[in-house]
Amino acid sequence: MNSLELYERARKVIPGGVNSPVRAYDPYPFFVWKGKGSRIYDVDGREYIDYVMGYGALFFGHAPSMLVERLKKIVEDGILYGAPTEEEVLLAEKIREFYPSIEMVRLANSGLEATMHAVRLARGYTGRRKIIKFEGCFHGSHDSLLVKAGSGALTFGVPSSSGVLEEVAKHTLISRFNDVELTEKIVKENRDDLAAIIVEPVAVNFGLVEPKIDFLKALRELADYSGAVLIFDEVVTGFRLSPGGAQQYYGVKADLTTLGKALGGGLPISAFGGREEIMKNVAPTGKVYVSGTYSGNPISTKAALAVLGYIKENPAIYSEMKWKVEKICKSIREVASDRSLKITVNYIESMFQVFFTDSEVSCYDDVKKSDIRLFKKYFHGMLKNNVFIPPSQFETCFLSTAHTDEDVELTINAIENSLSQIEDET
């Protein structure tokens, strides 16, 4: 059965034919046969170099042998116990080794769960209601964080999904990424009822946007000033930006940290952790209730232990990925300037994104200025040239340790071809 036939069937039984909205694009998505290394193969017989990489989870590429061989043995010892294991202790200790700010940690299964629990914990710990999030940042699809800026004043949170109650959304205040002044104003106005400031330390959900110098430090100071809990959502940056994530990279410590994606190398696992004084409020020692049948399950836990072991033993992977991303991005800039295309390229370590605008992209408003129509053409051009990137201007491309020098050369060719086609059509 080919992708079109599967899509027609899927639409009848799965809303939009996909199990997560970003996977849908016009006219229909390809359906996957399998993945190996840097490549993903569809049921129509095509092969792509993959920069979606499970939206950042596949840090080592598809089916990495160091995980696959281990997983074959792991499942034979049981899939789920509902009782604690030694590996959970080992993993908690390992996470603490990578993240000195994490004195205690709890495992969960998805990024959504980790941030939902962290926000509840911050509210339970402080006894306060309000949280600050940044426009365009995404922390998973749960009520307190599915909130966007209301029209007019940026701080007025309104639901970004139907089904989210206004009564919930109004406690989420919206600031602008990289805008210290506005954030300071909101903190000062809500100081006594502010439970948390939650931020993606590098924003990856409205394209890719780095924090400006001192933005994260300013958030640290504002949290200290107000008594709010500073939550770094490192579901994407954790272990990817550096072994100790954004906190090691930028030298700023969070009170609570959420982790996911790269931690499991593709298996569903997440974690939230931080200062013991806060974490001990989690049940059963405290009154903040958090639970999960699959939390700390042996398969994901053992896979995560293997991931962290591999990262520790292979520190060179970071510079190798960084070098490849730099090469790709520098050639995009060259191609764009040769063709006078208005393009901005943001990149950091193993992540990059191309924006169809010639102005700086440092907050959500900047991304909204880019030409979405051209991005769509670029996406389809890349597909045609056998490169799979996220189908949205508001996402980020991820390199894995499996991407080779040859992949980089092929990707540069694909970019040249697809940008030339855009130039011809405009």
Ligand X SMILES: Cc1ncc(COP(=O)(O)O)c(C=O)c1O
The half-sphere exposure of 16 on its side-chain side, counting CA atoms within 13 A, is: 10
Pick the closer one to ligand X by CB: 112 or 187.
Answer: 112
To ligand X, the closest distance from the beta carbon of 210 in angstroms equals: 14
Pick the closer one to ligand X by CB: 98 or 422.
Answer: 98
Pick the closer one to ligand X by CB: 115 or 257.
Answer: 115
To ligand X, the closest distance from the beta carbon of 112 in angstroms equals: 3
**Cα distances (angstroms) measured from residue 319 to each of 62, 236, 242, 263, 350:** 20, 18, 10, 19, 9
Contact 217, 362 (CB under 8 A): no
Q: Tell me the residue number closest to ligand X, measured at CB.
A: 111
Pick the closer one to ligand X by CB: 35 or 260.
Answer: 260
Of the candidates 368, 329, 373, the one whose C-alpha atom is nearest the C-alpha of residue 347 is 329
Pick the closer one to ligand X by CB: 160 or 420.
Answer: 160
Pick the closer one to ligand X by CB: 30 or 55.
Answer: 55
Residue 5, phi then psi, degrees to nearest 5: -60, -40
Pick the closer one to ligand X by CB: 263 or 335.
Answer: 263
Of the candidates 396, 399, 341, the one whose C-alpha atom is nearest the C-alpha of residue 367 is 396
**Cα distances (angstroms) measured from residue 369 to each of 74, 135, 366:** 48, 15, 5
C-alpha span between 300 and 113 (Å, rounded)? 15
**Cα distances (angstroms) measured from residue 65 to each of 36, 48, 192, 194:** 10, 20, 51, 46
Pick the closer one to ligand X by CB: 259 or 279.
Answer: 259
To ligand X, the closest distance from the beta carbon of 362 in angstroms equals: 18
Of the candidates 377, 354, 426, 386, the one whose C-alpha atom is nearest the C-alpha of residue 25 is 377
Contact 296, 107 (CB under 8 A): yes
Give the tokens for residue 385. Answer: 């040239």
To ligand X, the closest distance from the beta carbon of 131 in angstroms equals: 14
To ligand X, the closest distance from the beta carbon of 297 in angstroms equals: 15
Pick the closer one to ligand X by CB: 18 or 412.
Answer: 18
C-alpha span between 158 and 173 (Å, rounded)? 9
Of the candidates 270, 199, 190, the one whose C-alpha atom is nearest the C-alpha of residue 230 is 199
To ligand X, the closest distance from the beta carbon of 47 in angstroms equals: 25
Site residues (vs ligand X, CB under 6 A): 55, 110-112, 115, 138-140, 200, 204-205, 233, 235-236, 260
To ligand X, the closest distance from the beta carbon of 201 in angstroms equals: 9
To ligand X, the closest distance from the beta carbon of 163 in angstroms equals: 17
DSSP 250: H
Give the tokens for residue 300. Answer: 């994901």
Give the tokens for residue 138. Answer: 């995404």
To ligand X, the closest distance from the beta carbon of 234 in angstroms equals: 8
Pick the closer one to ligand X by CB: 55 or 249.
Answer: 55
Rounded (5°) CA angle 338-363-414: 35
- Reduced to 3 states (helix: H, G, I; strand: E, B; else coil), residue 175 is strand
Place of tokens 């406690």: 171
Sheet holding 397-398, edge to edge: 344-348, 351-355, 397-398
C-alpha span between 75 and 190 (Å, rounded)? 50
Residue 128, phi then psi, degrees to nearest 5: -115, 170
To ligand X, the closest distance from the beta carbon of 352 in angstroms equals: 16
